[in-house]
Structure 1
Amino acid sequence: MVRLELFGGFRVTIGALVVPDEAWHRRKMSALIKLLCLAPKHRLRRDQITAALWPDLTPAAAAANLRKTVHYIRHMLPEQHYETNPIVAEGDLLGLPVEHIWVDVVAFRTQVVQARERRDLEAYAEVVELYRDGLLPEDDDEWTASYRFDLRRDYVAILEEYAGILEAAGLLEETARVAHTLIELDPLIESAHVCLMRVLALAGRRAEALRQYEVLRRVLQVELGIEPGPEAQRMHEEVRVRQVTEPALTSALWERVGTLRMVSGDPRGAVKAYTSALERTTGQADAARLHRLLASAHLDRHQVALAEPHLARAEAMTTDPAEAARLACLRGEVDCLNSDLDRALHNALRARALAAVHGTAEDRARAEEAIAMVSHVRGDWRRGLDAELRRAGGQLDTDTFVGPFDIHQCIGQFHLYSDELSRDVEQYARTTLAHASDAGVVRVQAFAWCLLGESLLLHEQFDEAAGCLGQSAELHASLGSTSGALPWQRLAEVAVCQQRYDEVGPALRRASAIATVSPMARHVWQRIHATAAFARLERGEPEQAARSIRAAAAAAARYGGCPTCGALLHPIAAETYAALGDCEPARAHAVAAARIAERFGGSAWQAMASSSAASAALVEGDPRAAGAAFTAAAAGYERVGHAYWARRSRRQAAGAAGLAGLADQDGNVHGTPRP
């Protein structure tokens, strides 16, 4: 086994033998190995290699240099030190012997996926340890720049996630060390400064927290000419004036940590942080609120038995009617999970009544979301939305209803992919649009235009879909900057399906700009990145697609994710990694898709799981199993009328069958089929 390391510098180990630096007596010898280490499946065409290593030479001269370089590498060490050629030729391709090598960059990317899946400290620590000083820090070759940038971006995202998990676990010194590392990497990462300020304050090191704020203020002023953001300013002021006693301040900071973990989709970390806050609080109202937050964090993982005692304590301790509205929402969620839907609706309506008088706009929004979700589980969401349109009318166009329409959009996605419900989504959208137009309610019109466009898109009526989605985007724009990401994302998807790739980037940039400030962030970021990966994959750029998949994972770690709205991610991710020859991440996404299919049921969800499994089977060298899974995916898509994806899966099944035929002839699988 040959161990190839690129992080912290180039190093090759063959068995127990470390290849000395002087063995690479020509610089291009090591450059060729590095280039192949970073290449998809560790192989490249000869012209790609010569363009990277000898860009200034004529093709003939560069090809001659490549032949000499390969010769030098193959004869660099005595034969007894390796069992196979270090450079493998296959037609016009040159590559590394993949069965005999371990590459740290590949391991890093695989472990990033595993760390995010497992969400434990040991997994994150292994990723951080592997990165060391970054990719080939002493190399200045132009072709390494993009690889170095991508890996550094992934490393920064992992460090931010790692710091959050450490902080929630109460490991403050370790959190401070990771935050310092982030600041050393990029002093302009304001969230790292804020994290460091917070853990210093939690550790009782107030003076250091104040000094860190001054460091942040100076850096931002010198580099960007701006002041620190609201979160940093608020924390600085709390620590500076000591408006509360030390235990109360500590409790408030731990509560904030818990809230950050909930936003980033880490309810386990939130439970740890809220528990720390509860242990330090002294007031009854604060304790009641923390019990409510703990119940909410447990319910996020559907752990009713763990949530119930906290919810009961909060209900017994609470006298504030606004807090009672929040508790009624949670009680309705418990009832919903316990299948007591009548009682769940009663509590959701009670929450709305209390919030309307005593609560904030966010409380009112959560109550509306609870009603929508109960209606969805009861099977009468469509009637409920129509009733809401008649009841609230023009109030639906106020900011109060931005949040609730997150859940309506999410439920709409579920209907698009459900066996029974998908059949008449188009008609339902048209009926809702007519009612909303008669009532003059812009938000519901925008929702209905989007749902209609999505239905037409999945039925392969691309031109009509684009028109509907464009109308939805325009109406959302009239409501402000925080809505409309979904129709722009779907417009990009239409463009990919029609191979109008120049339209994809502008549409996704519009969607991204809205998602940055939208309460729909957890619903759209994964789909935005998945669409970008889909476009790159269709253009034959799997390495670029993988960058988008990794960005999707980082977005989910920061904003949380939604399995319904992120439906496209796993099959595209599995296909991307299969095209790159990366088994473990392909299989990880196949497993994730299978879990979602098991949770929701239905042909479309199962089709996505089958497609993901097919891609994993391909990269694992089983084209026959892949062909069967692609065929199953096509049948599933056909059952719900998703014509484009059904045709695409049929083509993939045919490609897998061709590979199976080749394998029968010579026992070797030569590559993965392109869609």
Structure 2
Amino acid sequence: MGAVTVRLFGRLDICCGDKPAGTLNARRARELFCYLVLHRHQPQHREMLADLLWEDASPEQARKYLRQALWQIQSALHPNVDANGPQPLEADAEWIQLNGCPELDVDVTRFEDNARSCHGIPGPQLDDAARQRLEEAVRLYRGDLLEGWFQDWCLFERERLQSDFLDALEKLVCCCEARHDTEGGLAHAKRMLAVDPAREQAHCHIMRLHLLAGNRTQALREFQRCERVLMQELGVKPSRQTRALYESIRDGRIDDPLSERESIVLAGGSSGTSHDLLPTLAELLERARHLFMCIETRLRNDNAAAEAARGKSE
């Protein structure tokens, strides 16, 4: 008896033991299985699932296809699950739910469990155990959720998990800064930029980390890179806060970027001297306008890709 290993980050990969899950070759059965995995914390109504996955079929046909897909999922899981232990798939006349069990190993489940365990802990306050859990979480994130899938429900979950991934990296970078771990902090900050090149805070982290490492020239170059990317991606200039950090580094006014003043700003707190580093309301509104434009363009592209994918499948 081997575990059922499910990898949802990146390209979908489902293995039973050391072999691919042969009975889950059907596209809709895989889609149903992935949906149940991602919504494992609450039961799903049969009618809703049938309408979601087989919207073009009649209600009777959709229910039939749902039963067939459930049978395929059960056939894949049954040989690999202890018959006397908890069963991963629970189904009755109206509700369906996929529960966790020792034989079901899902990367998204482990990612969320590790990230959730550190919820509410600021990055600089992470202890060794919490930092290790977040390191494991970001290691599991080998790519965006279900790459190549364009269903609406998948796009929503992809954005949610990507946001959690960036939040985990943000905490790790702050932890590394607090511990003067420049190598680890730079690695995590660069992963943030690989996902979101216009994430201004990540550029600020890299500037501070280079300064911590004694590389003032690289810190200044990072600001120039930030300035260029923000203009290309969003059509905006760096915020007053980012520019103030750059000018402090350029003029040699700070040797330790985690001085009291910088630490307050980094932590999101307030003081009598930090208000001048905050972006103005006009700057924030301009950034928001450009951000919404980018989101609108991305949604149009995603919808066009989804329509193209549906056309090919039909």
Q: TM-score with structure 2 length normalisation? A: 0.73
1:32 equivalent in structure 2 = 32
- Deviation string 1:145-183 (CA, Å, 9 cap, x unpaired) is 111111111111221121111111100111111111111
Match of 2:126 among 103, 119, 139: 119
CA drift at 1:251? 2.8
Flag structure 2 segments of 5+ consecutive residues without an equivalent: 274-280, 286-314
Equivalent residue letter for 2:74: R
1:453 equivalent in structure 2 = none
| Alpha-carbon distance in structure 1 between the residues aligned to 2:255 and 2:74 | 62
Give the structure with higher Rg (CA).
1
| Alpha-carbon distance in structure 2 between the residues aligned to 1:97 and 1:192 | 37
1:217 equivalent in structure 2 = 227
- Deviation string 1:230-286 (CA, Å, 9 cap, x unpaired) is 12212222333x445xxxx32355445533465469xxxxxxxxxxxxxxxxxxxxx
Match of 1:96 among 95, 98, 101: 98
Q: How does 1:156-167 map to 2 (within 5 A)?
A: 156-167=166-177
Equivalent residue letter for 1:24: L
CA contact (8 A) 1:45 1:92 kept: yes
CA contact (8 A) 1:2 1:102 kept: yes
CA drift at 1:19? 4.0
| Alpha-carbon distance in structure 2 between the residues aligned to 1:70 and 1:232 | 53
CA contact (8 A) 1:156 1:182 kept: yes
CA contact (8 A) 2:231 2:237 kept: yes
SS at match of 2:272: helix
Q: Does 1:65 align with 2:70?
A: no
CA contact (8 A) 1:52 1:143 kept: no
CA contact (8 A) 1:188 1:220 kept: yes
1:330 equivalent in structure 2 = none
Match of 2:255 among 247, 250, 255: 250
What is the root-mean-square deviation of aligned Cα atoms in Å? Answer: 3.0
Equivalent residue letter for 1:53: L
Equivalent residue letter for 1:96: L
| Alpha-carbon distance in structure 2 between the residues aligned to 1:113 and 1:71 | 33
| Alpha-carbon distance in structure 2 between the residues aligned to 1:70 and 1:252 | 56
CA drift at 1:33? 0.9
| Alpha-carbon distance in structure 1 between the residues aligned to 2:187 and 2:248 | 23
Larger RCO, structure (CA 8 Å, separation 6 or more): 2
CA contact (8 A) 2:23 2:72 kept: no
CA drift at 1:191? 0.9
**Quick check: 87-96 or 169-178, which moved more?**
87-96
CA contact (8 A) 2:208 2:219 kept: yes
Q: TM-score with structure 1 length normalisation? A: 0.36
Question: Among the aligned pairs, what percent are the same residue?
Answer: 27
| Alpha-carbon distance in structure 2 between the residues aligned to 1:97 and 1:222 | 45
2:9 equivalent in structure 1 = 7
Match of 2:264 among 259, 263, 266: 259
Q: How does 1:574-613 map to 2 (within 5 A)?
A: none
CA contact (8 A) 1:194 1:231 kept: no
SS at match of 1:133: coil
Q: What number of residue pairs does the alignment pair up?
A: 263
CA drift at 1:209? 1.8
CA contact (8 A) 1:73 1:86 kept: no
Q: Does 1:44 align with 2:44?
A: yes
CA drift at 1:102? 4.1
**Quick check: 155-164 or 217-226, which moved more?**
217-226
CA contact (8 A) 1:176 1:199 kept: yes
SS at match of 2:14: strand
2:81 equivalent in structure 1 = 82
| Alpha-carbon distance in structure 2 between the residues aligned to 1:262 and 1:235 | 15
2:237 equivalent in structure 1 = 227
- Deviation string 1:475-533 (CA, Å, 9 cap, x unpaired) is xxxxxx9xxxxxxxxxxxxxxxxxxxxxxxxxxxxxxx9xxxxxxxxxxxxxxxxxxxx
| Alpha-carbon distance in structure 1 between the residues aligned to 2:133 and 2:76 | 37
Match of 1:181 among 191, 204, 215: 191
Q: Does 1:132 align with 2:137?
A: no
CA drift at 1:98? 3.5
2:305 equivalent in structure 1 = none
1:358 equivalent in structure 2 = none
- Write 1 or 2 for the structure with the bigger share of helix: 1
SS at match of 1:98: coil
| Alpha-carbon distance in structure 1 between the residues aligned to 2:96 and 2:256 | 59
CA drift at 1:96? 2.4
SS at match of 2:198: coil
- Deviation string 1:43-78 (CA, Å, 9 cap, x unpaired) is 31111211221122221111111122222333357x
Q: Does 1:106 align with 2:16?
A: no
- Deviation string 1:295-316 (CA, Å, 9 cap, x unpaired) is xxxxxxxxxxxxxxxxxxxxxx
Equivalent residue letter for 1:113: R
1:239 equivalent in structure 2 = 249
